[in-house]
Each structure stands twice: as structure tokens, then as C-alpha cells.
Amino acid sequence: MLKGNTTFERNSPVSVFIYYACVVVPVIFTMNPVIIALSLIGSIISSFAGREHTSVRFHIYMLILFVVMTAANPLFYHNGETVLFVMNNNPITLEAAIYGAISATAVISVLYRSRSFTLYMTSDRLLYLFSILSSKAALILTMALRYVPLYTRHTRCVADAQRAAGLYKERNIIDDIKGGMRVFSATATWALEYGIVTAASMEARGYGVGRRTRYSPFTFGHRDIVLTAISLMLFAVIITAGATGSFSFTFYPRIEASPASTLAFAAYTSYGVLSFLPAILTIIEDVRWKYLVQKI
């Protein structure tokens, strides 16, 4: 469970999903450095504003990934006009280096976003989204999610029981494998037994007597309408600009940007707002809360 992210905690999974789709899709389909830079900065700032407690290790991994990806591209691709130097008879070009840096930035920003997304999208929220598509499939998935920890725990119990009963001797590797197989087969039998009781319990509570409805504790409220509307509007601007080629950007043979236009500027602004939206919302909430506290 995400603690402290006041931004999305109270939103419906649907609106949050739409937001993340809107913010990630442009990064995937463009190589425009402005959009990608906004995406990276926005995702990092938002993750801090949302108090996601990202570990230092995660940032370091991202940094290493960035360096590796940036370095890898010019080593393998030798297109581009501006040769920086020659290594092992292969030209290393400025264009390829910049392309590498920008694509690395894109990947890392998407990873930061995914982290925020998975922190928010706990299994029940994800299942809720899934159940919109198919209620039955979602039920099967929730049952499967329940079984994983149960089986793990039971396997440990069986292994302990067998060991303390002196039946699973651990004298050599063959004994070990044999013991492991016995534990596995016992757990499998137990799982079948278990399944029968669960099935009876489902039937006893009327599973399959008629059409099932779907209940979830999530509601699509005012906040969600606002979030969805903002996301979709900004996204529409970006898509329009993208479709008309206003911010297209080419690297090879030389770096060329399309001429600056009002539409491109509108797209940058929109993406900026979209990218920083979680941070903006969190700050608004924080300020509002501080104000409330003062009143109290």
C-alpha cells in the first residue's frame, strides 16, 4: 500500500490509468528532446513530491543504466555526419551519442513512471481495472493471487514437519532431492484438498446461481473527472502537434528539428503540465492542508 501519496491515493484506478497512459505514450512515440527532458524531470520531481521513498539504490541503478545506454549507442551505430573520433576503425559520431543519451533518458523516465504506477496500482486496483474487461477472469486472478503466499507458507511447514520427524534426512544431495520431491508432492495433494473446500465454500455462497455483478470500493468521483479531463485535453494537444509534425526531430545524418511554431510551443507546455501534474496536485493539496491546519 502506498503511504502518503496524496495525489492519487483517493483517485479511481481508471482515471489514474488514463493519466499514466497519456503521460507515457508521447515519450514512446517521439524522440523530441524537449518532451523527453520534461518527462524525466517531471517523473523524478513527481516521485519526490509524492513521497514515494525511492531508495538511493534505485537512483544509482538508473544512473548506471543511463551511462551504459548512452555509451552503447555510438559504439554500435555509426551513422551521422560529425565524427568525434575513430575507435577500432569505427567512427564514433556526435549524432549517435546524442541519440543514445536521449533514448536513455526516455527509457529512464518511463521506468520512474512505472515505479510510481506500480506503487499506486496495488493488486486490488489492478484487478479492478482488469474486472472491467472480464469479471470472471478477474475473480480467477484474485484467487490465484491468494494461493501464492499460501502455498509458499505450506511448503515451509511441510519441510519443517518432515525434517523434525526425521524423515527427510539431508545426509547427501540425493536425499535432499528426494526430500524436496516428497515435500512438493505433499503440497500438491494438500492444494487439491484445499481447492475442494474452497470450491464448496464458493458454491455455498451462491457462486454461479445467476449473473454476477461487480463491486469495488473504488468510485469514479469529482476528482477523477477533473484528472481525466485534464489528462485527455493535454494529450489531445500533444497528439495534434505530433500528427502535424510540429515537433518532429531527426538525428541522422545530422540533427534537425522542425521549425519552431505556436503548435509546438503549445505541445511543450501541455506536456510540461502533464508531466508535472502529480507534483502540482500534491503541492496544491499540501498548501491547502497547511492552510487548513492554520485555521484549526
The residue ranges that bind other proteins (CB under 8 A) are 1, 123-124, 139, 142-143, 145-146, 149-150, 153-154, 157-158, 160-167, 169-171, 182, 185-186, 189-190, 193-194, 197-198, 200-217
Residue whose C-alpha cell reads 494537444 in the numeric block: 237
Are 159 and 183 in contact by the 8 Å Cβ rule? The answer is: yes
What are the cell numbers at 92? 564514433
Shortest distance, CB of residue 132 to other proteins, whole angstroms? Answer: 13
When the beta carbons of 86 and 143 are compared against other proteins, the nearer one is 143
Angle at 212 between CA 207 and CA 213, to 5 degrees: 135
Q: What is the largest CA-CA distance in the chain?
A: 79
**Residue 56 or 197 having the CB closest to other proteins:** 197
Give the shortest CB-10-to-other proteins separation in angstroms: 13
Q: Kindly state the smallest distance separating residue 163's Cβ from other proteins, in Å.
A: 7
Provide φ and ψ at 84, rounded to 5°.
-85, -50
Nearer to other proteins, 172 or 262 (CB): 172
C-beta of 200 vs 284, nearer to other proteins: 200
Lookup: cell for 284: 496544491
Closest approach of Cβ 44 to other proteins, in Å? 28
Residue 250: strand pairing partners: 256
| DSSP reduced 3-state for 260 | coil
**CB closer to other proteins, 113 vs 125:** 125
- Retrieve residue 110's grid coordinates: 518511463
At its nearest, how many Å lie between other proteins and the CB of residue 173? 13
Inter-residue contact 261 to 229 (CB < 8 Å) = no
* Pick from 153, 115, 129: nearest CA to 216: 129
The kind and range of the H/E element at 257 are strand 256-257
Minimum gap (Å) between residue 203 Cβ and other proteins: 4
Closer CB to other proteins, residue 156 or residue 254? 156
Structural element, H or E, at residue 292: helix 262-295
Q: Which is nearer to other proteins, 90 or 162 (CB)?
A: 162
Whole-number Å distance between alpha carbons of 55 and 185: 40
| Rounded Cα–Cα distance for residues 16 and 148 (Å) | 27
Shortest Å, Cβ 209 to other proteins: 4
